[in-house]
Amino acid sequence: MASVLGTSTAILASRYLVSPSSKPATVPSISINPGKGYGRKLYGGTGIQGRKGRPRFHFAVTNVATEVNPVEQAQKLAAKESQRPVFPFAAIVGQDEMKLCLLLNVIDPKIGGVMIMGDRGTGKSTTVRSLVDLLPEIKVVFGDPYNSDPEDPEAMGIEVREKVTNGEELTVTMNKINMVDLPLGATEDRVCGTIDIEKALTEGVKAFEPGLLAKANRGILYVDEVNLLDDHLVDVLLDSAASGWNTVEREGISISHPARFILIGSGNPEEGELRPQLLDRFGMHAQVGTVRDAELRVKIVEERARFDKNPKEFRDSYKAEQEKLQQQIASARSNLSSVQIDQDLKVKISKVCAELNVDGLRGDIVTNRAAKAVAALKGRDKVTAEDIATVIPNCLRHRLRKDPLESIDSGVLVIEKFYEVFG
């Protein structure tokens, strides 16, 4: 973990050495709030009347029962052991910028995801998929296809909301945050959801079969080679990423469900550019290059050979480091709300964005959030200029207007402007 933070900081902010203050605090982790209402909905043959716009709920969720089922836990453990082994995150050599961006999004999902662009064969997909072992557990309503939050009425699916309004007791379980892969060849019905034909034929009712966006709610949606994704799927992702809700209109069924997820994409810029509308939806942008150091290349090859030869033994050798990283992430998530950033630093961040002609205010918001997440990861409760220098290139690089005649990397332009304003 020290290498992830140390290398990035040394490269981007070697001029800033601010002594951190340490005030540990325990604050609940952040919640995820949806942002879109619903019209007339049908789920499982039941109609619910609503109004367009953001739904308003005035009831308190009090009747929640937490059940820990030993049989269910045993099934989860067995399923985990039977899964294909994943390369450990702690074993990834180099690529500190990419690893830091991924960790910050796990700590604060409201950062908005990360776009990873770089050469082929540099471990982009391997690193993203290795993140699954580090994901924390969250409370979900048992058996709900949307991973509804039992404590937040606005992050509930329709059926769960009905149960709460009727005074029924909710069964709660702890699940790891989902990571859902979106294949390039997926159909729109598979992504958004469609009619449950089996239920329609056997029971004679109109029912909705949730898609990948429902599964990814409150989790991570990963799109490999995102720059090759079909335009109609890009439109679907844009709509859900903007509103936090997925609305499906199919054969007389109109349904909305929460679809707030961390969007992670990876790709090779040589294979095509990404649409600017989608690029702006990614909170951070990480650039990955091929490792040039011969000794590091040899180490990567050897580590990969060890993993291929005996995955279980290789994973066990990194178990202690993985657990330490998990604890660090859990601590950072719980302390995130107590991290403060001075007004002077906020003004300077916005000044950098303004002088770089960054469109909109997403750059300001994401930079503030990412800097707080870095401070939380380092165990501090106050953001320093060093923290901002670490993340500001990743937050603003992809938001600059492209000049086809410009030969300087956009990340370098951001750093130069940062030193000009903060210096």
Q: Would you call 362 a catalytic residue per the annotation? A: yes
> Which of 103, 54, 397 shows the shortest CA–CA distance to 258?
54
**Which residue in the list 362, 369, 380, 399 is annotated as catalytic?**
362
Nearest 10 degrees: CA dihedral of 34, 161, 149, 198? -90
Provide the residue count of the chain: 423
> Which of 31, 41, 34 shows the shortest CA–CA distance to 57?
34
Q: Distance between CA atoms of 158 and 124, rounded to whole angstroms? A: 37
The token duo for 1 is 């973990």
378 φ, ψ (degrees, to nearest 5): -85, 0
Can you tell me which residue has the tokens 């039977």? Answer: 82
Can you tell me which residue has the tokens 């209109």? Answer: 249
Q: Distance between CA atoms of 361 and 282, rounded to whole angstroms? A: 13
The token duo for 51 is 């109004």
The token duo for 106 is 């796990």
Maximum alpha-carbon separation in the chain: 70
The token duo for 323 is 């657990």
Helices 2-12 and 96-107, axial angle in degrees (round to 10):
110
Contacts (Cβ under 8 Å, ≥6 apart) of 110: 30, 32, 369
> Which of 408, 305, 410, 312 shows the shortest CA–CA distance to 356?
410
**Element holding 347 (H helix, E strand):** helix 343-355
One-letter amino acid of 294: A
Rg (CA), the chain: 22
What residues are annotated to the active site? 362
